[in-house]
Structure 1
Amino acid sequence: MIRFPEGFLWGAATSAYQIEGAASADGRRPSVWDVFAHTPGKTFHGQTGDIACDHYRRWEQDLDLMAELGLKAYRFSIAWTRTTHEDGRPNQRGLDFYRRLAEGLRDRGIVPFATLYHFDLPQSVEDKGGWLNRDTAYRLAEHAQVVTGALKDTVDHWMTINEAYVESFLGYATGELSPGHQDTGEALAAAHHLLLGHGLSAQTIREGNAGKVGLATSLSPVHPMTQAPADVAAARLVDGVNNRLFLDAIFKGTYPTDVQERYADLRPGFTVVQDRDMEVISTPLDFFGLNFYYGRTVTGTDGDLPSGWAETPLSTPVERDLGARDVVRTDQETTVMGWPITPNVFTEILCRFKTDFADIPVYITENGVSLHDQVSPEGVVHDPERIDFLTLHLNAIHNAIAEGVQVKGYLTWSLMDNFEWAQGYGPRFGLTYVDFGTQRRIPKTSFHWYRDVIARNGLNPPLARPHEPDQEEAKQHG
């Protein structure tokens, strides 16, 4: 039996656009994702978050689901498009929704973790330049002031932004995500302004005594395919762009020298950095939110790969511009999105964070696996692969705790199946199956397993199999 420290916070995570729906309810205005998802060819089968999981209307049912699961913490995001009008004035109806949600969580003994910004920039802000416009960082801080001022008596754990790498490089360099640009110089400028918005928002939270402040950052350990100099150099650069560009800025107040040199000729790039920006960005944090899905292996060589290796969907124009390709062993298990399953390097990245960046409390704010889950004829959703995935990753976290890393909680992605951005409703990450046609919620086998893990504050290694829900249990959530 592996037990976690007393007081360890077991939770789950979601984000506003991915679950809320109610796209025009109570004064909500369009976000960049409303526009992007409605643009032909941008999402799988043209799917959008207009309805998603209808959580905005079904929030009480979903809170009861969380209580049944036994959650101790819940991470959600607050839609900027709900909380303020276009002129910046508070939208009380939107703020009231998040108050009801936070109070409902507390009534059920669940700690609210609120993310102030999770990809859903108001379209009116995008029309003025979005994250290419320095002013957007200040508008985010104003959003932070409105929200934390209104909700600080119900929420005391705040994350400023989510996954700045994903937003900047997949949104501005590869074009996979909103706003769909394809310019690495723009991606660098967007990344800097996102980080500046984080720093300004963190200062706003501190000045308002609104609670503890952190952010959520996706990290991926990067290893060379071989020890050949080209592979080692490629891995170093990919690590620089994916990890150090953001961690160095947040915790050291500087951007990595090798990344600056590589991108020195790009515009606007690093030319947007102004005096004292790095001081703002490196505002001290109370905790760090770490999102982990996979480790990466790269090569810097051209031509055919050695036998037993194949290129992965993680290779994008960003990597190719760095002279790198993401590769995976052909016998390596991957998810339905083509991501390698690599729990062995989860401990590594946690220990590296403590050693190289900051010895502060860490919460795993996202970790999960996409599968093509289906409902059986008996009305049950069996997902043993998810149980195996989570078990292995929890073991890795436990090993990191044993090495002295201050991991204080684990919030798995996700509470329920949802709109997976450009991938639409194809990949399913949830502990709860959502029939998007009827909005029926069906707890999966992994839901019952995770409930047992929470109740025990630990798990039985190496791979645990849970109590299997019967047909009658599944019907209770119809």
Structure 2
Amino acid sequence: MIDLKQEEGHTVARGFPDHFLWGASTAGHQVDGGDTTSDISFLEHVQPTVFKQPAGSACKSWERWQDDLDLVSGMGLNAYRFSVEWARIEPEEKVVDQSALDHYDRMVDGCLDRGITPLITLSHFVCPHWFGAKAGWFNPDAPSLFADECLRVLKVLGDRVAMAVTFNEPNLPRILSTGALSTQAVEAQRQCLEVASRKAGVERYRVGNVVIPEEVEQLELGFRRAHACAVEAIRSQCPNLPVGLSLAVIDESYVSEKGKALAQARRDACYRPWIQAVQGNDFIGVQNYERETMGDQGPLAAPEGVDTSESGAPVCAGSLVNAVVYIRELTGLPVLVTEHGVCTADDQVRSRFISSSLPPLVDLARDGFPLLGYFHWSLLDNFEWISGYDMHYGLCSVDRSGGTYDRTPKGSAQTYRKLVAETVI
């Protein structure tokens, strides 16, 4: 476990933290494969669906998790963040699959055997199919159901994991609803949920990452209530285990007074509602991928000549530190970078991004900023939700087309390894 307590009035000398976590992140549905009992796998197979293709075998990490841990160790990293999938553990309501809990038990031991600190995410968007059929996070019973799942997991893993993240990016639907989705995309999501409800034979089939705008506020309320219940449950089982949640954080910038007002309005909508929800938590996770620069009419296109991601966003190294500092100022909590990366098929872009993004973060930590660690997204090229396999975030490629699912570290993995090794402790 990680002790996050600091003596009041203690002055931190310049120097890199002794227990800084250098890691990589993954999520179960995106890498495991063979997921047949979750809400997202159900949505992937309705027609019409918003998902370009089903996750299918993904990266076969359910079978090849030891290979994944060897990759983490081989990069000289000391931590790994992965999700514990509720749909695997409770595939039917009140029916617990002990073999799934045993699987995660082995994964945690596998981390420790390699000198890797394990961190778990308890809800990385995906939930059981039966939970979605009960309206998901809109169900008044959802907080207690999730708290039961957290207790179930922590009774098995809580003595060995270092930190627990309750929710992954529960503010993402709000970010997407503030202009990131086209009218056509919103309508496609609406149709997908309507078809899913009919197919499941329920009035309201709902999930955490396919959301229609008019339901965002109610969804966030469900997330916040469930987070509070989860924190209480986790602390009752593991009182010394650090717990928090992670937020998606765009580095909002601007070039005019109107742009400044737009950027501030976006911040007020996407982040401020979470200030009260995380008070008393042990840390706040930050997941940053991009900067968005506002002009008078809204977000500006990427300038000519700069690297861009597969989504068309400019690749901005400075966005990470700006996002970290902003969330620290907003919440007052120690910060853990739970995700940071770039979707690109050009690995040289990723290498340049790592080389330019991380040194300022290291300087921040050396200067006494309460930064707990950095986790790159992702360890593998994996399933990226509605985009299927068209977006490439991985430090390692996966041979899906050849059917071997062999992992191959890219040059960016070596770039990351070198930077970690050269960081003076």
Q: TM-score normalised by the shorter chain: which range applies? A: 0.7 to 0.9
User: What are the superposed Cα offsets for residues 268-322 of structure 1, whole Å, 9 maximum, x if unpaired?
Assistant: xxxxxxxxxxxxxx4x111221111112223453xxxxxxxxxxxxxxxxxxxxx
Matches of 1:342 and 1:429 in 2, distance apart?
A: 15
Aligned match of 1:39: 46
Tell me if 1:361 matches 2:334: yes
In structure 2, the residue matched to 1:19 is: 31
Residues 265-276 of structure 1: pairs in structure 2 closer than 5 A: none
Deviations along 1:340-389, one digit per CA (max 9) or x if unpaired, are 2222233223222333321x43211100111125xxxxxxxxx2211110
1:428 matched to 2:424? The reply is no
Of 218, 223, 245 in structure 1, the residue corresponding to residue 273 of structure 2 is 245
8 Å contact 2:344–2:391 — kept in the other structure?
Answer: yes
Contact kept? 1:157, 1:212, Cα under 8 Å: yes
- Where does residue 357 of structure 2 map in the other structure? 393
Instruction: Indicate the residue corresponding to 1:314 in structure 2.
Output: none
CA deviation after TM superposition for structure 1 residue 96, in Å: 0.6
8 Å CA contact retained: 2:302, 2:308: no
Structure showing greater radius of gyration is: 1
8 Å Cα contact 2:354-2:415 kept in structure 1: no
In the alignment, is residue 343 of structure 1 matched against residue 320 of structure 2? no
Offset of 1:239 from its aligned partner? 1.1
Deviations 1:161-212 (A, max 9, x none): 1000125664999547774766433111001111211111011111112621
Name the counterpart of 2:245. Answer: 215
CA offset at residue 64 of structure 1?
Answer: 1.8
Is the CA contact (8 Å cut-off) linking 2:17 and 2:366 kept in structure 1?
Answer: no
Aligned length in residues: 385
| Higher relative contact order (Cα pairs below 8 Å, separated by 6+ residues) | 2
Offset at residue 22 of structure 1 (A): 2.2
Matched residue of 2:23: which SS? Answer: strand
Determine the C-alpha separation between the residues in 2 that align with 1:150 and 1:6: 28
Give 2:301's match in structure 1, choosing from 322, 328, 333: 328
Say if 1:387 and 1:449, in contact at 8 Å, map to a contact too.
yes
Structure 2 residue aligned with 1:50: 56
Equivalent position amino acid for 1:232 in 2: K
Distance, in Å, in 1 between the alignment partners of 2:263 and 2:370 is 27
Given that 1:350 and 1:400 are in contact with CA atoms closer than 8 Å, whether structure 2 keeps it comes out as: no
Aligned to 2:130: 124
* The one of 378, 390, 400 aligned to 1:414: 378
Show the counterpart of 2:164. 158
1:43-100 Cα deviation digits (max 9, x unpaired): 56x4212210000011122222222122200000011001124233432111011001
Identity %, equivalent residues? 30
Structure 2 CA distance, aligned partners of 1:298 and 1:73? 36
Task: Kindly indicate whether the alpha-carbon contact (under 8 Å) linking 1:137 and 1:200 is maintained by their aligned counterparts in 2.
Answer: yes
Instruction: For residue 77 of structure 2, give the secondary structure of its aligned residue in structure 1.
Output: coil
Question: Which stretches in structure 2 are left out of the alignment for 5+ residues?
Answer: 1-13, 190-205
What amino acid is aligned across from residue 290 of structure 1 in structure 2? V
Deviations 1:123-154 (A, max 9, x none): 21111111222321221111111111121122
State the shift of 1:402 in Å. 4.9
Aligned counterparts of 2:292 and 2:154: Cα–Cα separation in 1: 37
Aligned residue type for 2:35: A
Q: Under a length normalisation based on structure 2, what TM-score does the superposition of the two structures give?
A: 0.84
Structure 2 residue identity aligned to 1:416? L
1:287 corresponds to which letter in structure 2? F
RMSD: 2.5
Which AA in structure 2 matches 1:214?
G
Which amino acid is the alignment partner of residue 16 of structure 1? Answer: G
Alignment correspondent of 2:194: none
Partner residue in 1 for 2:222: 193
Q: Name the counterpart of 2:281.
A: 285
Cα distance in structure 1, aligned partners of 2:247 and 2:317: 18
Pair 435,449 (structure 1): closer, same or farther in 2 beyond 3 Å: same
Which amino acid in 1 is paired with 2:226? G
